Amino acid sequence: MNTRNNHNCAGLRYIDLFCGIGGFRLAIEDVCRKNGVQAECVFSCEIDEECRKSYLANFSDLPHGDITQISEKAVPDHEILLAGFPYQPFSIIGKRKGFEDTRGTLFFDIARIIQAKQPTAFVLENVKLLSGHNQGKTLVTC
């Protein structure tokens, strides 16, 4: 398993949380390549075993598993955090349970890593309702 924990690489270091099969990774690497910036994924995680296998096949990099079981100390330093976490708890077509749905609480694992690692930037991909959750106070957590 290659976890690419090189803290001294030149260029942009990023982590890919809830990485699925690698959509965010393809996007950031494409943008960086087009702009002459070296980008390196130094950490990824995904709980779905089939997605992990696809990610490994696509990038020769096996993501770590369940984010709730990963200490922020195990996450390498990085400049950008990418996270496409479960949207169902915040979707207008769902039950809108927010943090009452265990998938909704995964947001706090992202916040925990952001607070510990202080990346320069982060990109959270979710649904519109997330930005207004709890009158916007949810995103202030980060």
Per domain, the residue ranges of the chain are 12-140
Q: pLDDT digit string (tens) for 58-95?
A: 999 999 999 999 999 999 999 999 998 656 555 556 55
Q: What's the average model confidence in pLDDT over 40-44?
A: 98
Report residue 127's pLDDT band, with 50, 70 and 90 as the boundaries.
Answer: very low
- List Cα–Cα distances, 43 to 36, 66, 91, 131, in angstroms: 22, 13, 28, 26
Triad 86, 90, 94: Cα angle to 5°: 95
Q: Domain 12-140 adopts which CATH fold?
A: Rossmann fold (3.40.50)
pLDDT at 39 over 50: yes
Reported confidence tier of residue 3, pLDDT bands at 50, 70, 90: very low
pTM over 0.85: no
Q: How confident is the model at residue 42 (pLDDT cuts 50, 70, 90)?
A: very high
pLDDT at 5 over 60: no
Kindly give, in sequence order, each residue whose CB lies less than 8 Å from that of residue 74, ignoring residues fewer than 6 positions away: 64
| Percent of the chain whose pLDDT exceeds 70 | 66
Q: Which two tokens stand for residue 122?
A: 């982060």
